[in-house]
Structure 1
């Protein structure tokens, strides 16, 4: 029988109030609080916290503060990556960020989602001990390949892959796959030209 964490990572409906998942979330909240309170020049402490918070952190990674995430351990970051201020990563499933990636301020990456059918979202009976309603949730991974630049305020939705060397315009809402070597903008985000 699968754990709720395994269901979550397999893209199946999972119980967001599961004790194992809540423990991971509370740990991530504690570490992000510590990280957000560090002095920006204390690179040793910041890198130490990131190594405990994230699933993988490459070399030359700068994540500016404040930074928010849900689980932390499902985020993998390659080498030479800048994540600017006030980014939020809802990493119920994997978020994989390649090498040489620039992520501007206020970018939001979501892996969690719910059914569009209202009757399929809310479970009437949930574990009242946690005090958190149990909505039927599932999560799909997000992949940002090498050399991608994501403009400020962009929103990346569950299941999206952004191909290598591509640029996502500021304020875009990325709802589907963006091929490599593309400039894509808008809501919904669409390719407006190829990069030679």
Structure 2
């Protein structure tokens, strides 16, 4: 009963203000928490106001217009995330970032600290978990079905189906296939057709 009341009072507001927020309708994050800890700071106090998904008030998302993302993925929704997308970041679907994660798409020029180096976008695949206090550096590609261990520094590409840890981050073992049946999830709103194949991939 409380879950339905929570969605009735706050859920429609969250769906209205966050057009790129796609999560399970119930059992993920309570809507009143999203309202008071995310929506109010973002829209009323202008903390990450241009981001179209929930960002925690302790986190920062720069150049959100250069971020593309799938479903079950909200960069900056955890504590103390720093997402800098000057050169672009491409997020897949079903991605979780631990607290303190930084993703930095461009470095400063060594002879002009007010300027950023141009480079290719960071790309992060589907079914990726990045552990707490990890840092992803510019031009890195992380494949599908990857776990990055806590406190890792990712300065080179990480292949799909792997577990990688350390500073610098290295693959330590292969990861089994991701098996969760996402097609059974009931989402907070209708999922765009382009994600149907992703949701049915593990059937």
Give the Cα–Cα distance (whole angstroms) in 1 for the partners of residues 92 and 99 of structure 2.
18
Question: Alpha-carbon deviations, 1:134-192, whole Å to 9, x = none?
Answer: 44633431111100000000000000011111000000000011000100000000000
Give the Cα–Cα distance (whole angstroms) in 1 for the partners of residues 136 and 73 of structure 2.
17
Kept in 1: contact 2:39–2:54 (CA 8 A): no
Change (3 A) 1:184 1:96: same
Matches within 5 A, 1:55-66: 62-66=54-58
Kept in 1: contact 2:148–2:164 (CA 8 A): yes
Structure 2 spans left out of the alignment, 5+ residues: 1-31, 177-203
Kept in 2: contact 1:142–1:158 (CA 8 A): yes
Matches within 5 A, 1:10-21: none
Kept in 2: contact 1:113–1:139 (CA 8 A): no
Match of 1:187 in 2: 167
Kept in 1: contact 2:153–2:169 (CA 8 A): yes
Question: Alpha-carbon deviations, 1:69-95, whole Å to 9, x = none?
Answer: 222211222101254111001110111
Change (3 A) 1:149 1:136: closer
Root mean square deviation, CA, Å: 2.8
Match of 2:126 in 1: 146
Change (3 A) 1:136 1:182: closer
| Match among 68, 72, 81 for residue 80 of structure 1 | 72
TM-score for both structures, normalised by structure 1: 0.61
Give the Cα–Cα distance (whole angstroms) in 2 for the partners of residues 136 and 185 of structure 1.
28
Matches within 5 A, 1:1-196: 40-42=33-35, 46=39, 53-54=50-51, 62-82=54-74, 83-114=77-108, 121-123=110-112, 134-135=114-115, 137-196=117-176
Shift of 1:65: 3.0
Structure 1 spans left out of the alignment, 5+ residues: 1-38, 116-120, 124-132
Kept in 2: contact 1:81–1:101 (CA 8 A): yes
Report the number of matched residues: 138
TM-score for both structures, normalised by structure 2: 0.59
Match of 1:9 in 2: none
Give the Cα–Cα distance (whole angstroms) in 2 for the partners of residues 64 and 51 of structure 1.
9
Change (3 A) 1:62 1:101: farther
